[in-house]
Chains A and B, each alone.
Chain A
Amino acid sequence: NAGVTQTPKFRVLKTGQSMTLLCAQDMNHEYMYWYRQDPGMGLRLIHYSVGEGTTAKGEVPDGYNVSRLKKQNFLLGLESAAPSQTSVYFCASSQSRDRGDTQYFGPGTRLTVL
């Protein structure tokens, strides 16, 4: 099993460009999440999904959209990138509906917006 994978690993965008980050998991997990990590801030939740076809806003959703058309994939879109979106983006997934279930993270995507 590959676990959680993310593509691309690195990307440089110009202000105003758009892009989609792909997260894939092969563990048949129900829950999937997108976080961003900035220096001194810790990871912050952008959007999440509790199952195929569902999405919901997290702590910092502005400027991002998501889709979960297939259970194994969770896409994060930036429609018009801004320098404030320069960050490391982590996707995660978890299975159990019980609180405290382990989240498994992908290796991250390093995005720079110029």
Chain B
Amino acid sequence: RKEVEQDPGPFNVPEGATVAFNCTYSNSASQSFFWYRQDCRKEPKLLMSVYSSGNEDGRFTAQLNRASQYISLLIRDSKLSDSATYLCVVTTPTGRRALTFGSGTRLQVQP
């Protein structure tokens, strides 16, 4: 079983739509949670951290459910520029401070 699992998609949505992605993680000791965005053939970039209380950044809302071990990302009013792959990322309490990545969910926003 993968440590971090995501639906690969693609999610094809029209501009202005609301879309949600979920991700599950297997290690209950995971400590930190993130969503990264990766454009085609580019490096991953941090989109937002995910906090237990939930957090919002403009059109993006992230939620964490520790009991069920899943993380969600909600995008409202989708823009063409939101088209990308969204990577769910967790850290676990080891000394290396490395990230464990899901394989990503691809979003295609259509005009």
Q: In the complex, which residues of chain A have a beta carbon less than 8 angstroms from the beta carbon of B95? A: 50
- The reply to whether A48 and B49 contact each other, CB–CB distance below 8 Å, is no
Q: In the complex, which residues of chain A have a beta carbon less than 8 angstroms from the beta carbon of B43? A: 90, 105-108
Q: In the complex, which residues of chain B have a beta carbon less than 8 angstroms from the beta carbon of A43? A: 44, 87, 99, 101
Bound form: Cα–Cα A108–B8 in Å:
22
- The reply to whether B97 and A31 contact each other, CB–CB distance below 8 Å, is yes
| Residue total for A at the interface (Cβ-Cβ under 8 A) | 25
Smallest Cβ distance from A29 to chain B, in angstroms? 11
Please encode chain B, from 28 to 48, with 1 for each CB lying within 8 Å of some chain A CB and 0 for all others.
000110100000011111100
Judged by a CB distance under 8 angstroms, whether B1 is at the interface is: no
- The reply to whether B102 and A107 contact each other, CB–CB distance below 8 Å, is no
Judged by a CB distance under 8 angstroms, whether A77 is at the interface is: no
- The reply to whether A50 and B44 contact each other, CB–CB distance below 8 Å, is no
- The reply to whether A48 and B98 contact each other, CB–CB distance below 8 Å, is yes
- The reply to whether B96 and A42 contact each other, CB–CB distance below 8 Å, is no
B residues in contact (CB < 8 Å) with A: 2, 4, 8, 31-32, 34, 41-46, 49, 87, 91, 93, 95-99, 101-104
A residues in contact (CB < 8 Å) with B: 31, 33, 35, 40-45, 48, 50, 56, 58, 90, 94, 97, 99-103, 105-108
